[in-house]
């Protein structure tokens, strides 16, 4: 199949080379992100392969449809950036990579939780400045805490299994509770998880229904000093409300690998730019907030799988007219 792969990073190149041969694809690599501004690069191709930070909106999808593109394969698990309705209307078949490596994100959630528990952000800065004092660095142990998981799918389960080793109490909320998870944690209502958890870790996808799931109202229901971990999607959290919660002490700390206005900022070098997003600047500056640039997924294992499985999806479409990871 003739494929144009957008937004390809250097670290993906060897996998594209290897798996385009394996699946007998002819892949053109472009660095540009997919959007209406770059959709014309798909002229003459059967498929486009994109990433989670590309803009596959109606306009872009209609453009590639007119160019004859039949398939859109995202290398990511999340697909909230793709207008599936528009794709369905124009007859473009869409696939994602739902399980490239849940461990990458699950382990990351554990890592940032431990960083917050032991004040690593401040501790690292101090040693850089030859300040070896202890004041203010006192932490807490996870065994005494209740961890609440919102979303107990593939990533949530990896995090849950990893956290289970710390001996903490674990509770969770999911629209569809899962029997395999019930042996590790007690399922509760969302209101109960918010009220009882010392640490809340988000592992649900972004949907129309849960935009700003964490907002002023839900923060008010949390325990005083609760910690929020978001490795899922930025728009699950109302950043303004999070900042207010952090300023008042209602929220005791946060680790955000994703941010609601991250597009155009995360995954780019802005060291010589003036960042104008005041909320991001505030969050970045707080001692008890860890901001990372949407890289929980970023392991060798996951990147290899993202490339391979997206090309495999297109191979399946070509050979069988369908695909196990078909979204529409
Ligand atoms: P999954 O589909 O296996 O699990 C999601 C779970 O959330 C399901 O059990 C579902 O029933 C539940 N859910 C859906 N809406 C919910 C709601 N409103 N409240 C509570 N539970 C709800 O997805 P997976 O693989 O576990 O990934 C979870 C999310 O992690 C992805 O949607 C994506 O947003 C994020 N992610 C982030 C990455 C990063 O680099 N930071 C990388 C990969 C995924």
Q: Indicate the pTM of the whole model.
A: 0.93
CATH code 3.40.50.720 for 2-100+300-320: yes
Over residues 240-267, the pLDDT tens digits come to 999 999 999 999 999 999 999 999 999 9
> Among residues 72, 76, 75, which one has the least CA distance to residue 58?
72
Distance 203 CA to ligand 1 centre (A): 5
Distance 222 CA to ligand 1 centre (A): 21
Over residues 275-309, the pLDDT tens digits come to 999 999 999 999 999 999 999 999 999 999 999 99
Distance 171 CA to ligand 1 centre (A): 16
Known active-site residue 143: no
Q: Where in the chain is the domain with CATH 3.40.50.720?
A: 2-100+300-320, 102-291
Over residues 52-85, the pLDDT tens digits come to 999 999 999 999 999 999 999 999 998 999 999 9
Over residues 124-166, the pLDDT tens digits come to 999 999 999 999 999 999 999 999 999 999 999 999 999 999 9
Which residue's CA is minimally distant from atom 16 of ligand 1?
A: 204
> Among residues 125, 118, 128, 170, which one has the least CA distance to residue 149?
170
The best mutation among 97, 100, 110, 153 to test binding of ligand 1, ranked by most ligand atoms within 8 Å of the C-beta, falls on 153
Over residues 4-52, the pLDDT tens digits come to 999 999 999 999 999 999 999 999 999 999 999 999 999 999 999 999 9
Handedness of CA 189, 144, 181, 307 (dihedral sign): positive
Known active-site residue 244: no
Handedness of CA 150, 152, 154, 155 (dihedral sign): positive
Q: Which CATH class is domain 102-291?
A: alpha beta
How far is C-alpha 98 from the chain's CA centre? Answer: 12
Alpha-carbon gap, residue 215 to 238, rounded angstroms: 5
Handedness of CA 265, 233, 99, 294 (dihedral sign): positive
């Amino acid at each position: 199949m003739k494929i144009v792969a957008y937004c390809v990073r250097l670290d993906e190149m060897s996998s594209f080379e290897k798996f385009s041969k394996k699946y007998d694809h002819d892949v053109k690599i472009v660095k540009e992100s997919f959007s209406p501004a770059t959709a014309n690069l798909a002229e003459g191709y059967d498929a486009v392969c994109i990433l989670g930070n590309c803009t596959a909106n109606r306009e872009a999808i209609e453009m590639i449809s007119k160019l004859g593109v039949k398939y859109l394969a995202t290398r990511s698990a999340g697909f909230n950036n793709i207008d599936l309705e528009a794709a369905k209307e124009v007859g473009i078949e869409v696939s994602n990579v739902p399980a490239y490596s849940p461990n990458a994100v699950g382990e990351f959630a554990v890592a940032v939780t431990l960083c917050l528990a032991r004040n690593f952000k401040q501790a690292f800065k101090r040693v850089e400045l030859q300040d070896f004092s202890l004041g203010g660095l006192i932490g807490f142990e996870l065994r005494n805490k209740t961890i609440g998981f919102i979303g107990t799918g593939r990533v949530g389960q990896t995090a849950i299994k990893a956290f289970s080793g710390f001996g903490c109490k674990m509770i969770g909320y999911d629209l569809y509770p899962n029997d395999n998870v019930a042996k590790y944690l007690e399922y509760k209502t969302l209101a109960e998880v918010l009220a009882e958890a010392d640490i809340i870790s988000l592992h649900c996808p972004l949907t129309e229904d849960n935009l700003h799931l964490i907002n002023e109202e839900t923060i008010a229901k949390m325990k005083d000093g609760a910690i929020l971990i978001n490795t899922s999607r930025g728009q699950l959290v109302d950043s303004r409300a999070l900042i207010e919660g952090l300023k008042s002490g209602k929220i005791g700390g946060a680790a955000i690998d994703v941010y609601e206005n991250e597009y155009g900022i995360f995954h780019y070098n802005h060291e010589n730019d003036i960042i104008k997003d005041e909320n991001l600047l505030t969050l970045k500056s707080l001692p008890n907030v860890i901001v990372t640039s949407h890289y929980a997924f970023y392991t060798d294992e996951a990147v290899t799988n993202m490339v391979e499985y997206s090309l495999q999806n297109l191979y399946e479409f070509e050979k069988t007219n369908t695909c196990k990871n078909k979204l529409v």
